[in-house]
């Protein structure tokens, strides 16, 4: 493999990381911005830092170069062919995510890479080398992710409305329930950090231990949270209730941004690491080590994407689907984190992007069907469905182009 492919791979990996940051920042920060818990400038600054930290320090040091093993590894024996395919996949996924961001629509960056790998497999080995069962599971996630997140957000907001917002003494009720909501938030965050990011496996923490540790953290911080709320929130009535949930919303949003960096840096750096290892060893390996400098490089690219173009998709998810308040925004962020955690532990393919949009729709539906702009939702769903075929076709084009130029 030539040095030219490695240099192009580095450029494509940085471009993909930039696009991931630009499109996926909405998963974490759109609800907070839409509910005016934080400003847009604060959102992109916070998310940029947390995405970088998650990617560089929590991100996986061993990842699959052939994303999700969509292509049968047994047919990928020629290092030059695999390097070209990984480069083409990075370019194809990047251009699709860039186009979706330009259109201000959220798409799954993971599914973009998967679609590109399908195209690579089709053009090099034909239909037989694609593991179609896994492709079907990904297609099912278009239904599973948004529906599950929508249901969680809907039920959570109905619970808050019935137990707190509809009561004449709503602030007193909010204080009474605050240890539960604070504890539940920290339970999901701590369990997710141990179960959903590479940090847990690195520390050797299993599900049982993770649940016990997270439950203990939830009990302690739930009580501390109530004491803090009583001391710091001076407003009463509805405004005071919204301030309580504003703090919880920002907390969950920060977690989603941190976890995003840890999990999705592999979408850009996995293929790049594959190209790098092929360049160094002249051999193909389905599981490749990702050096720290590549994780940091990817984290920097994601942070730059967040800070330069992240506002485009934030506007769509945070303001164009439904009206968000702090209580609604908390339900969105909580449902997104919970959905991703539960689905991943059950072995279901899940997209954080799809979960975030589904959660926004769920809290909107809690206010009635008319509260949701289904024209925007329909456009978003269309882009989800065409992600795989568009990324696949684009990858096939780039592969033939690269093959002609770099053969």
Asked whether residue 108 carries a pLDDT value surpassing 70, the answer given is yes
Q: Could you give the CA distance from residue 281 to residue 204 in angstroms, rounded to a whole number? A: 30
Compute φ and ψ for 71, nearest 5 degrees. -100, 135
Q: What is the pLDDT of residue 262?
A: 82
pLDDT band of residue 14 (cuts 50, 70, 90) is very high
Q: What is the pLDDT of residue 182?
A: 94
pLDDT band of residue 258 (cuts 50, 70, 90) is confident
Q: What is the pLDDT of residue 142?
A: 79
Average pLDDT on 226-240 reads 86
Domain that holds residue 136: 3-401
| Angle at which helices 109-125 and 79-102 cross, to 10° | 140
Asked whether residue 72 carries a pLDDT value surpassing 80, the answer given is no
Query: In this predicted model, what pLDDT tens digit does every residue of 173-212 receive, in sequence order?
Result: 999 999 999 999 999 989 888 876 677 777 778 888 888 9
Q: What is the pLDDT of residue 147?
A: 94
> Mean pLDDT over all residues of the chain?
89
Q: What is the pLDDT of residue 347?
A: 65
Residue 43: inside a domain: yes
Residue 69: inside a domain: yes
Residue 311: inside a domain: yes
Asked whether residue 298 carries a pLDDT value surpassing 70, the answer given is yes
Residue 406: inside a domain: no
Contact (Cβ atoms closer than 8 angstroms) between residue 86 and residue 65: yes
Asked whether residue 373 carries a pLDDT value surpassing 80, the answer given is yes
Q: What angle do CA 265, 267, 268 make, to 5 degrees?
A: 75
Of the listed ranges 22-36, 130-144, 211-225, 313-327, the least confidently predicted one is 130-144
Q: What is the pLDDT of residue 208?
A: 85
Residue 407: inside a domain: no
Number of domains in the chain: 1
Rg (CA), the chain: 21
**Concatenated DSSP letters of 303-322:** HHHHHHHTHHHHHIIIIISS
Give the Å distances, CA to CA, from 258 to 270, 281, 320, 331, 393: 18, 33, 25, 18, 32
Instruction: Name which of 97, 110, 85 is nearest 383 in CA terms.
Output: 97
Asked whether residue 61 carries a pLDDT value surpassing 80, the answer given is no
pLDDT band of residue 215 (cuts 50, 70, 90) is very high
Contact (Cβ atoms closer than 8 angstroms) between residue 318 and residue 356: no
Q: Could you give the CA distance from residue 115 to residue 89 in angstroms, rounded to a whole number? A: 8
Q: What is the pLDDT of residue 140?
A: 83
Query: In this predicted model, what pLDDT tens digit does every residue of 314-361 receive, in sequence order?
Result: 999 999 999 999 999 999 999 998 888 887 777 666 788 999 999 999
Asked whether residue 138 carries a pLDDT value surpassing 90, the answer given is no
Q: What is the pLDDT of residue 65?
A: 54
Q: What is the pLDDT of residue 377?
A: 95
Instruction: Name which of 334, 354, 391, 361 is nearest 23 in CA terms.
Output: 354
Asked whether residue 1 carries a pLDDT value surpassing 60, the answer given is no
Residue 97: inside a domain: yes
Q: What is the pLDDT of residue 143?
A: 84
Query: In this predicted model, what pLDDT tens digit does every residue of 140-174 receive, in sequence order?
Result: 877 888 999 999 999 999 999 999 999 888 999 99
Average pLDDT on 50-54 reads 90
Q: What is the pLDDT of residue 145?
A: 87
Asked whether residue 288 carries a pLDDT value surpassing 80, the answer given is no
Which residues lie closer than 8 Å to 38 by C-beta, 6 or more apart? Answer: 29, 32, 46, 250, 253
pLDDT band of residue 136 (cuts 50, 70, 90) is confident
């Amino acid at each position: 493999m030539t040095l030219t492919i490695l240099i192009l791979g580095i450029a494509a990996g940085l471009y993909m990381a930039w696009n991931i940051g630009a499109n996926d920042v909405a998963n974490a920060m759109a609800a907070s911005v839409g509910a005016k818990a934080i400003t847009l400038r604060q959102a992109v600054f916070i998310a940029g830092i947390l995405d970088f930290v998650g990617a560089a320090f929590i991100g996986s040091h061993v990842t699959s170069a052939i994303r999700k093993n969509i292509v049968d590894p047994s047919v990928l024996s020629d290092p030059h062919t695999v390097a070209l395919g990984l480069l083409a996949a990075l370019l194809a996924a990047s251009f699709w995510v860039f186009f979706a961001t330009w259109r201000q629509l959220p798409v799954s960056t993971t599914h973009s890479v998967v679609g590109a790998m399908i195209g690579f497999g089709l053009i090099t080995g034909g239909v037989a080398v694609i593991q179609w069962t896994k492709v079907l599971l990904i297609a099912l996630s278009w239904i599973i992710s948004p529906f599950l997140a929508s249901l969680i957000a809907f039920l959570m907001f109905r619970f808050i409305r019935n137990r707190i917002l509809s009561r004449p003494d709503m602030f007193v009720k909010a204080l009474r329930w605050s240890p539960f909501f604070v504890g539940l938030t920290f339970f999901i965050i701590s369990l997710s950090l141990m179960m959903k990011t590479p940090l847990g496996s690195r520390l050797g923490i299993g599900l049982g231990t993770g649940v016990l540790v997270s439950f203990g953290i939830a009990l302690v911080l739930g009580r501390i949270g109530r004491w803090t709320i009583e001391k710091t929130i001076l407003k009463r009535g509805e405004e005071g209730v919204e301030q309580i949930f504003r703090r919880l919303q920002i907390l969950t949003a920060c977690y989603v941004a941190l976890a995003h960096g840890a999990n999705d840096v592999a979408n850009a750096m996995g293929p790049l690491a594959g190209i790098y290892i092929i360049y160094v060893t002249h051999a193909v390996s389905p599981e490749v080590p990702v050096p720290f400098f590549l994780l940091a490089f990817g984290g920097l690219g994601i942070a730059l994407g967040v800070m330069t173009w992240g506002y485009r998709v934030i506007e769509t998810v945070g303001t164009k689907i439904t009206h968000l308040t702090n209580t609604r925004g908390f339900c969105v962020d909580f449902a997104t984190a919970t959905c991703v955690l539960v689905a991943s532990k059950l072995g279901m393919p899940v997209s954080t992007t799809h979960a975030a949009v589904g959660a926004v729709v769920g809290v909107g539906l809690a206010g009635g069907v008319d509260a949701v702009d289904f024209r925007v939702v329909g456009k978003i769903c269309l882009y989800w469905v065409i992600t795989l075929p568009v990324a696949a076709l684009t990858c096939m084009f780039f592969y033939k182009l690269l093959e002609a130029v770099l053969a």
